[in-house]
Structure 1
Amino acid sequence: MKVLVVGGGGREHALVWKIAQSPLVTTVFCAPGNPGTAGLATNLPIAVDEIDKLLGFAKKEGIDLTVVGPELPLSLGIVDLFQEYGLTVFGPSRAAARIEASKAFSKDLMKKYGIPTAAYDVFTEIDPALAFIRATGAPIVVKADGLAAGKGVVVARTEEEAEEAVREMLSGNAFGSAGSRVVIEEFLEGEEASFLAITDGKQVIPLASAQDHKAIFDNDQGPNTGGMGAYSPAPVVTPDVHAVAMAEVVQRAVDGMAAEGCPYRGILYAGLMVKDGRVKTLEFNARFGDPECQPLLMRMQSDIVPLLLAVAEGDLSGKEIQWHDQAAVCVVMAAEGYPGDYPKGDVITGIEAANAGEGTTVFHAGTAERDGAIVTNGGRVLGVTALGDTVAEAIQRAYRAVDLISWRGEQHRGDIGQKALNR
């Protein structure tokens, strides 16, 4: 069968890497792809938001399954469009993707269906928002309502910092239309975990546990990013936490979306805050997390394609997922200046040597090819991912590979997976 993967980041390289291993698959295309996917698939010069062009290609080429990686095409309705033309596509509908595309929609859904989350309110005007901040006090969290590439969240340590974030979003156009409405919510203490599940709109199968590292610097310091690394399994997700996350978070969300008339099919990602065994929901994402996708797919023993097809066709009955016992760690190597402005075009060396490491795969994210060399072309450039018999061994292998790769101004965190070791 022919498969089209939509996207060009580290998550999509991991998806192409896993899908290409399936005996069911003869050909993989990736739009737009990157130099990493080019070795496994045919890259297409079509951007993720050019959904009409993607449709045209899928029809012309006779694509059997389209797998949508990023949130933007989902929010634009690519799944609805493909289904309208009878094409098999993996991902939630436009209405269902609002669970990520609108934080206000998501919080209202949690409130209505009893999903544990932080107290919050929604604002479109500055003065009421500032009054809410002053009444609540700091620390407090300010979120742009719409899609902001994982960066539209400000964890404000002071009221002044929160007020500045509100002004920047509502009048300073910091996130464009994504920030024309803000969600302000109570600050939750604890340890974050990423809980992903695959669902056909009724049945839910959990993926292995994982933990992301969102802040740019070690010890969770500095501004939030799209994710600076991840590992799986995550010890913070104990059997009790897992049971609560399944019953009170993911299943309630899936049942709630069905009750709202927009059944959710695809990967549902719940960002959790865990403290003393209690679980609260930070957010939902409508797709595989990036970088969580990379270690999860390296640990997945099962063929992913039958799962993707079953969801696209609306019936997961009888399906299950087998996992390798090994742990996996992904360290993101980023450009100088990220998550702010960053340069592009710096030549990267050492990728081949790093890829040769035992149990190691270097997933391309923000890269391009120029004059035969691989160069930087984004904020998060590479996701160096390694398997190990323990988290400690996976960390050691991943960082050994990171040390082999270099370019001008490269930055990465040195503590990915440390929380697992601390436990």
Structure 2
Amino acid sequence: MSFAALLMFVLFFAWMLVGMPIGHAMLAAGIVYLLVTGQDLGLAASQSLNGIYSSFVLMSVPLFIFAAELMNAGKMTDRMFGFANLLVGRLRGGLAHVNVVSNVIFAGMSGSALADAAGPGKISIDMMIKAGYKPSFAAALTACASILGPIIPPSIPMVIYGVISGTSIGYLFLGGVMPGLLIATVLMGYIALVARRKNFPTQPMPSRKEAVAIIGDAAPTLTLPAILLGGIYSGAVTPTEAAAVAAFCALVLALFWYRSLSLKALFRILVESSRSTAIVAITIAGALVMNWVVASERIPAALGTWMVSMDLSQSSFMLFVTVLFLILGALVDTMLMLLIVIPILMPTVGALGIDPVHFGVVSVVNMMIGLITPPMGQLVFLISGITGIKVADILSEVWWMLALLIATLFVLVLVPSITLWLPIQAGYQPVGSFH
């Protein structure tokens, strides 16, 4: 690595630590590299803009953001919560189970952990507290359940990973289904154990008439995942087109079917979605500049050669990366790991014959666990901000659930068939054999 590249990384981390937005820090550090090496500053603009505009798949990101905002503001999350309550509310600790199930359902539409926490998560916490659950437990469970958003398809991080690695988005989405359901099962198993010990309440069973009304009210919303995923896997639409269909259907339902969205609220959603999209776009633009520097310095190739020379097995490399990501997830932003670390590791992944779908899904699961791992823990801080529950209180309840999630992650790392089973059923040919 040259002095200019080392200076770039030092400045990037220094600016990030003092509070500069990550995207701006990456762009500024990349420009410093160009200045020091005497290269044309226009490279920063060409690398970032060409990278964004040349990727049709990246257009799905703002559409998924817009769809999630519509579903939250259009009260569709309330209807999903009611349907989840109908399914599992009568179990001991029913509302805690509802929390997980509602996140599974919403995950099939949003692709964002933060959207899950702000939508069904907020509703679940309020309902659980009213029913007598400890606020810190309700908040901790919501933080852990919200990570299902980017694991169960669709998934914004998987879209970005697919663009970076050249991996099929459709197979990545399929690969996330079984891990997401496994995580949901583990969380519900933990709830079942805690519910007996703490004698959590159950929800009253609705009458047949009430059940029919709940299903009828939620049915239009519940068709969205089927339309979205069915369109992708049938080949009728691309992931980007599916995101546009999801946003359009959510808009029609909110405005005309449920009539729960005013024009004023729609304008606010457009503004918020544009703001969120701009943050993502600037971050991607900065990462593209830094990735160009990394590639020009041949850092990934050197790392790959070094890793191969160490004669690491696939399992050893995967375990090393898993531990590395767990540490980084507690310290740095998820988007930074996705946009900077993944491109550096991909040549080694290819050289060792590791399946890119398995690696991508496991990496996304790992990054989502980082969203609840202190000291960063973005989901914990978000939930604390929208509920007023202290961060320290949430963390006091999150440790056991976090330990179970990490244990599940290692199972996914060592048993790739869990991730690859559905893609294989859809015709995917795995790369190499795991050993």
TM-score, normalising length from structure 1? 0.32
TM-score normalised to the size of structure 2? 0.31
Structure with higher Rg: it is 2
Q: Which has the higher helix share?
A: 2
